[in-house]
Amino acid sequence: MNTLSYRTSHTRPEDVQRKWFVIDAENMVVGRMSSRIAHILRGKHRVDFTPHIDCGDNVIVINADKVRFTGKKMNNKIYTTYSGYPGGQKSFSPRQLLDRLPTRVVEVAVRKMLPKNKLGDAMYKKLFVYAGPEHYHQAQKPEIINL
């Protein structure tokens, strides 16, 4: 019987070397940018990607208050939250949410593109979103990505 001379290798959690990336969200479409960020957080851009291991990198998003939507989504799209109590359902348009909590639009878009389990929670913790051009991760020497 012929056997192959190589074996499939899987990344172990202790072998993952994480990088830091900065993305400037100014004038970027929310959905397209968020899918790319989720791709990086998941680790699918890496050669050693393993689906059951958190092997993604850290992402810093700056200027999240200057994102844009295509079409009429800025006024017509609805974000809905529910506290679990009677009368606890709240709805916001992206324009209202950007005025109140400017980072939440990007956070929600990326969160919904990650796996809905403990692994997705670990990936989401590596996302850092800032409304302005400043961030507090200079010590990590992040690389700038142009999407």
Q: Mind listing the pLDDT tens digit for each residue in 54-89?
A: 999 999 999 999 999 999 999 999 999 999 999 999
- Tracing tokens 């348009």 back to the chain, one arrives at 93
- C-alpha to C-alpha distances, 142 to 43, 54, 60, 86, nearest whole angstrom: 16, 19, 8, 45
Q: What confidence score (pLDDT) does residue 9 get?
A: 80
* All structural domains of the chain: 18-69+98-145 (3.90.1180.10)
Q: What confidence score (pLDDT) does residue 125 get?
A: 98
DSSP 108: H
**HSE of 5 in the Cβ direction (CA atoms, 13 Å)?**
0
Can you tell me the distance from the alpha carbon of 121 to that of 125, in angstroms, rounded to the nearest whole number? 6
pLDDT at 5: 65
**Residue 46: per-residue pLDDT:** 93
pTM for this predicted structure: 0.91
pLDDT by residue for the chain (147 residues), tens only, comes to 566 667 778 889 999 999 999 999 999 999 999 999 999 999 999 999 999 999 999 999 999 999 999 999 999 999 999 999 999 999 999 999 999 999 999 999 999 999 999 999 999 999 999 999 999 999 999 999 998
Residue 128's DSSP bridge partners are: 60
CA atoms within 13 A on the CB side of 132: 3
* Strand order across the beta sheet in which 143-145 lies: 127-129, 58-62, 20-24, 143-145
